[in-house]
Structures are given as C-alpha cells and as structure tokens.
Amino acid sequence: MNFLVNNDILESKNAMLFIWIEEQIQNYIKKRNLQKSDLINLGIGDTCHFLPPLIKQAIIDSAIEMSEHVIGYGDETGQTFLKEAIIDSNATYKEHFSTNEVIVTEGIANSLSHLLQLFEKKAKIGVLSPSYPVYSTLLSLRGMKKIPIKQNEDLSFTPPKEKLDAIILCSPNNPTALAFSKKELQMWVDYAKENGSIILFDAAYNSFIFDDSTPLSIYEIEGAKEVAIEMKSFSKSHGFSALRLGYCIFPKEICYKSISLLPFCKKIVAANSNGVSYPIQKAGLAALSKEGTEISMALCKEYLENAKTLKAHLLKAGKHVIGAEHAPYLFMKGNRSSKEMFNDLLQNKNIITIPGCGFEADGFLRLSGFISKKTLDLAVANLTLEENHDIC
C-alpha cells in the first residue's frame, strides 16, 4: 500500500499506548499460560452490567413501531421526544433552554468532533493536563494544535494569561475524578467572556456528583450561556457505551460577530451524521424516565463505591492515591515510570491499569471502579496480598 496517510494518527501517542498495553498483556498471559479473562481489569471506564429490561424493551418496541409505521430520516439534531426529556432531566436546562438548543449525538467523542469543526485549524484550543486523551487525538486529526493547561500543585487549574479560542474543560475530570467548584468555574466563564473564547464543557461524569455544592452543569454559573457548550453522554451514567448516545446543549447566545452559531453547528451535524438511530433515541427516552433514572443512580453509586473501596485499600497499603470523589477513578502516584508501574501490577498482581503517561502524567496509574463485584473482590484480595509488597 502506498497512499497519502494522515500521519497525525500514525503518530498519535494515545493509539500507540493502547497498542503497547495490549502487547504487554499478550506477552504476559502467554508466558504464564493464562487467558486475558484471568486478569483483573481495572483499566477501562466501561459498563459491566447487562442492558436493563427497561432499555431492552424500549429498543424492541421501537423496532415493532418501525415495522408498523414508516419512520425515516428524522430531525438530524434529535427527536423532539428525547430533546424534551433531556431538558426535563435537569433543572438548570429547564430554566435556561428550549429543545431547539439540544443536539442529540452518538456520544461525547461524536459531539466534540462536530464542535471542533466550528473552529479554524489554527485556532488555539486549551486542554487540561491531565485529561481524557481523546481530546488530543481529535485535535490532531483535524490538524489542530492543543495548548496544555497544566494542573497546579494543589490539583487546581488556573485560566492561562494568553487568549485561547476555546478551552475543553472536563468536570468531574478523567483521570483525577476531581470536579470544579462553582467559584473555579466562574473564573473560567469570566476568562472566556473577557477573551471572547468558547468553553467546550465535558460533563460525561456529572451523574457521579452526589453533593449539593458541586455544579452538575456549567450553566449553573452566571454568564455561562454566552460562552459555554455542554456535552453529555449516556455511556457512563446509563451504561450506553455500546448503544452510543449523548447530546450537547448549544445555547443560541453563542455567537460569532453577533451571529448565532447554532444553525451552523446543526449544519455540521447534518453533514457528518444525519442524526442518531431511532431505536437508540427511544432507549434514551426510557433511560431518562423515572425508572431509568433510578437504575442510573444505583449504577453510579455502585461504581463510585467500588472506587472508594479500592482507594481505602490502597491508602491502607501506604499508596499515594487520589480520586473516587466525583467519578469512579483512582489516580495513583508511584516512584517509577507509569509503564514500569503498569508492568509491576500486571506481573505481580495480575491487574490491568492504564499508565498515567496516556494522560500526560508519567509516574501515575489510573484504576477504574467500573467493575463487577467479583472483580472488586479479586482486586482487593490481590492488592492486599503480603508477598510482592512493592506494587509501585
């Protein structure tokens, strides 16, 4: 093959890391004559429950509906029934937005990929460091450069002095599970207003916020409507990672030279995808019902509790670990490179993690609480084993 390839993806550190992880796992299981399923996977932030009957039924019913009525292309920004349910699901949305400002997508990766097309390639996009590595991949795929915003010693982030065109904020953040306070978010909104920047706000983990003082949405902040676009996913909150559903709230006040950008964003969505499949939107409607919300809340509490249990054991073992606050992740500091730490845990404890270098944080590992009860018990048992005490 000899064609002009997009070098940015070949050189993507994130893609390379996942290839490296898989190689380490394959080498290890071959050496020990194990199956991958024998390992304790604390690596991925993915669902570990079957589809609830409520969601299964919604998909079946929508297929029956489609076999009895003609349902074709719908509104590419989402079906009204789902947009209404989204607005009703959040008191802040209800206060500030109409269904016209909701754009249904296949998840946050999809929303962000649409939204980045609003910016010129040379736009300066600020990205928190550490944060979800896909932001960097999406930027490099568009030939855009990111401006890293480094975490302070006290784990906070400060708006930069320079003017950025956009900033991708994530709260609660992956991998640290830390959320911005109202005061901190106000600082970012003020920065965006002063500099004419847009905040792309990733709220993938907001359903794991269970205290009243931490904002669930950036629109709880004064002035955010003029500068922030919020992205939300059903992947973590409702176990929809394989169904693919999310949305963004795109306020009509988001303007370029007094022209609202909302119709232009809708154009981008239409050109890229023509919308989300009808049965999945019906599943989303069921997920936002009273029963669906109760299931989601129980799920989120369970994952968060798993992370808290792991954290307690690691702290007891003298590890430096943060997280399990507002998202089911732990971020553990060691005294070696994160790849060495990864191999220590793999080879001494049969545990898979994600090296912090994937989040631009070498010397750290991310451990996930998105695990079953069986995996939790195995992880706790292995982490507390006496031999091989120096796990990192």
| Binding residues for ligand PLP (CB under 6 A) | 45, 107-109, 132, 170, 174, 202, 204, 233, 235, 241, 246
Q: Which is nearer to ligand PLP, 193 or 244 (CB)?
A: 244
CB atoms inside a 10 Å sphere around CB 17:
19
Q: Which is nearer to ligand PLP, 236 or 311 (CB)?
A: 236
Tokens, residue 236: 């973590």
Closest separation in Å from C-beta 360 to ligand PLP: 14
Nearest to 168 by CA among 140, 146, 190: 146
Q: Which is nearer to ligand PLP, 12 or 195 (CB)?
A: 12
Q: Which is nearer to ligand PLP, 132 or 191 (CB)?
A: 132
Residues 342-376 as b/e (b if ≥16 CB within 10 A, e otherwise) read: bbbbbebbbbbbbbbbbbbbbbbbbbbbbbeeebb
Q: Which is nearer to ligand PLP, 217 or 350 (CB)?
A: 217
Closest separation in Å from C-beta 113 to ligand PLP: 9
Closest separation in Å from C-beta 132 to ligand PLP: 4
Q: Which is nearer to ligand PLP, 276 or 378 (CB)?
A: 276
On whether the CB atoms of residues 269 and 77 are closer than 8 A, the answer is: yes
Closest separation in Å from C-beta 331 to ligand PLP: 13
Reported as type and span, the H/E element at residue 103 is strand 102-105
| Composition of the chain by helix, strand, coil, percent to 5 | 45, 15, 40
Q: Which is nearer to ligand PLP, 108 or 115 (CB)?
A: 108
Closest separation in Å from C-beta 174 to ligand PLP: 4
Q: Which residue, chain included where needed, has tokens 């001494």?
A: 348
For 206-280, where are the E strands, in sequence order? 228-233, 246-249, 255-256, 259-260
CB atoms inside a 10 Å sphere around CB 136:
23
Q: At what angle do helices 80-88 and 278-287 cross, to 10 degrees?
A: 20
Residues 109-135 as b/e (b if ≥16 CB within 10 A, e otherwise) read: bbbbbbbbebbeeebbbbbbbbbbbeb
Closest separation in Å from C-beta 287 to ligand PLP: 13
Reported as type and span, the H/E element at residue 148 is strand 146-150
Closest separation in Å from C-beta 107 to ligand PLP: 3
